[in-house]
Structure 1
Amino acid sequence: MESRIERIKKQLHSQSYKLTPQREATVRVLLEHEEDHLSAEDVYLLVKEKSPEIGLATVYRTLELLTELKIVDKINFGDGVSRYDLRTEGAAHFHHHLVCMECGAVDEIQEDLLGDVEKIVERDWHFIIKDHRLTFHGICHRCVHKNEDKSDDQ
């Protein structure tokens, strides 16, 4: 984790920002809960556990700065809540998500599935793509198995 924090610190410095203690506390929470797709409020509550002096407004400003610098991505899965996801280091694009409509679980696909689609869009629509996001909404494998088990019991 320390090497990742050091790289984020360098990213901030390259844009003339410092990794203040408040920003570091926020980054640490995001790293510790990387799979969780936390909302700003979730991040704040976790930051507050370790650093009670840090306020909600500071966490919001930090998340917005990290989003602006493309260190984190701000995402919405259709539930009206913005969530924050650390961008995979060295990734050319944002990773994809699978959102379960039954249990709400969010799984990630790290593999970029849209390379060919991007080429077609750029060629046919003369549109220069800078990034993309793909979210699939459906039923996760856990819920599918749970539903299969219920139907077997009947």
Structure 2
Amino acid sequence: MKKPQDKTARMTKALREGGVRVTRQREALLKVLTEAADHPDAAELHRRAQVLDDTVSLATVYRTLTVLEREGVVHRHSFESGGARFEVADPVHHDHIVDIDTGHIIEFRNDKIEELQRLIAAEMGYEIVHHRLELYCRKLA
């Protein structure tokens, strides 16, 4: 896993390449993104960034997320449980389990699933370029 400062540097570079100034407000948002252990929505990112800098606007959050997503350093997820959620792009592929009762999102990686998906695609004459697996689950009693 990348260090927070590496992720921040990657996002800062992406903003500059996207033609966006890296302001104090955006730096606060980048810090929140790199420290997030969950998959917050824009409103939650805004709330957390305002703790660091009370001048961060929701519009700045949305504009910054749009650029970061376009540059490929942030992933937007539209889980069935609600609106868009965000995470810093990790070079190591992972999938998600969404707890339908709590909304909690768990990241996981399983080599057997990855291999099976590759085999299925190959049997049908395809090579996987990108995929996303989301499992919607309920905790066993």
Q: TM-score, normalised by structure 1?
A: 0.73
Q: For residue 31 of structure 1, what is the aligned residue in structure 2?
A: 34
CA distance 1:14–1:63, shift in 2 (3 Å): closer
**Pairwise CA RMSD:** 2.5
Deviations 1:39-72 (A, max 9, x none): 0000011111211112111100111111111111
Does residue 12 of structure 2 align to residue 9 of structure 1?
A: yes
CA distance 1:101–1:52, shift in 2 (3 Å): same
Unaligned 5+ runs, structure 2:
none
Deviation at 1:20, TM superposition (A): 3.4
Unaligned 5+ runs, structure 1:
148-154
Q: How does 1:4-153 map to 2 (within 5 A)?
A: 4-13=7-16, 17-33=20-36, 35-88=37-90, 90-91=91-92, 93=93, 95-111=94-110, 113-118=113-118, 120-121=120-121, 124-126=124-126, 129-140=128-139, 144=140, 147=141
Runs of 4+ in structure 1 displaced over 3 angstroms? 10-20, 110-113
Output the amino acid matched with 1:42. E
CA distance 1:67–1:139, shift in 2 (3 Å): same
Q: TM-score, normalised by structure 2?
A: 0.79
CA distance in structure 2 between the aligned counterparts of 1:101 and 1:130, rounded to whole angstroms: 29
Deviation at 1:106, TM superposition (A): 1.2
CA distance in structure 1 between the aligned counterparts of 2:122 and 2:13, rounded to whole angstroms: 32
CA distance in structure 1 between the aligned counterparts of 2:129 and 2:30, rounded to whole angstroms: 25
Aligned pairs, how many?
137
Q: Computing the radius of gyration over CA atoms, which structure comes out larger, 1 or 2?
A: 1
CA distance in structure 2 between the aligned counterparts of 1:23 and 1:118, rounded to whole angstroms: 39
Instruction: Indicate if the aligned counterparts of 2:75 and 2:86 stay in contact, CA closer than 8 A.
Output: yes
Instruction: Indicate if the aligned counterparts of 1:9 and 1:18 stay in contact, CA closer than 8 A.
Output: no
